[in-house]
Amino acid sequence: MSHKLRPLVFNPDVSPVEALFANWAKTYIAQAHLDDDEAEPFQQPLIDLEKAIDKQPLVTMQDFFCHQMTSSCFGDFGDTMTPERREQIYVVAMAEVNERESLLAAIELHKAAYDRCDRFTTVTGRITDDDDEFLALCSQEVSLIRAVVAHPTMAVSNIVLKGRYLAAVQAVGGLCFEHAQAFVASIGGAGHA
């Protein structure tokens, strides 16, 4: 009899707007302190990203927020914002983009480990507690799901992204109570340094 784990399927983007916005934010901030000539190579990629964002349907209010931030250059049309406030916005935006990218990397590592366990059981037909090779694969997978659960998230969209991934893991029976409990506790601690 062949044993197989249930496939773990996860699409990180409810809509493509957040991924496009992350790319736009990195590009915009990279050129923000440059003079016009130095910033020229960034202009067409920014325009292309802004057009791509503008073409996307608004699925969530987060999509609307991302759309507004790109169309208003972080709310700074007319240079009404102080340089200090502008820098604060850039720092926060980059922190959220970096948080998203590192969370997605942690998710990909875990998904790859889960897939290795799945391939092992499919090829060998074995799921036993006394198989050293399978136990090593499972140990790595558990370690990586713990890393996803423990990944620091402050941005609401990243908390939701993590929660959606953990829900996908739970749907295949791969999330234990302790991991779910740790995730809920991390939400309660968000915003409290």
- Average pLDDT, consecutive stretches of 10 residues, N- to C-terminus, the chain (193 residues): 66 83 94 92 95 90 88 72 85 93 96 90 69 87 95 90 93 89 80 50
Same domain, 156 and 105: yes
Same domain, 74 and 108: no
The answer to whether 17 and 63 have CB atoms below 8 angstroms apart is yes
pLDDT for residue 47: 94
pLDDT for residue 2: 43
**Cα separation of 106 and 89, whole Å?**
26
pLDDT for residue 43: 94
> Does the residue 1 lie in any domain?
no
pLDDT for residue 191: 54
> Does the residue 94 lie in any domain?
no
pLDDT for residue 128: 62
Using CB atoms within 10 Å of the CB of residue 53, give its burial: 0 to 12 exposed, 13 to 18 middle, 19+ buried: buried
Q: List the end-to-end C-alpha distance of the chain, in Å, as a whole number.
A: 52
The answer to whether 151 and 142 have CB atoms below 8 angstroms apart is no
**Cα separation of 107 and 109, whole Å?**
5
Same domain, 177 and 123: yes
> Does the residue 9 lie in any domain?
no
Which of 164, 52, 56, 62 has the alpha carbon at shortest distance from 104?
164
The answer to whether 121 and 4 have CB atoms below 8 angstroms apart is yes
> Does the residue 25 lie in any domain?
yes
What pTM does this model have?
0.82
Same domain, 72 and 114: no
Instruction: Rounding to the nearest 10 degrees, give the CA dihedral for residues 47, 51, 52, 55.
Output: 170
pLDDT for residue 79: 65
Structural domain for 56, as ranges: 17-81
Give the containing element (helix H, strand E) for 161.
helix 156-171
Same domain, 49 and 125: no
Which amino acid does the sequence have at 93?
Answer: A
Same domain, 106 and 157: yes
**Cα separation of 23 and 79, whole Å?**
23
Neighbours of 24 (CB within 10 A): 24
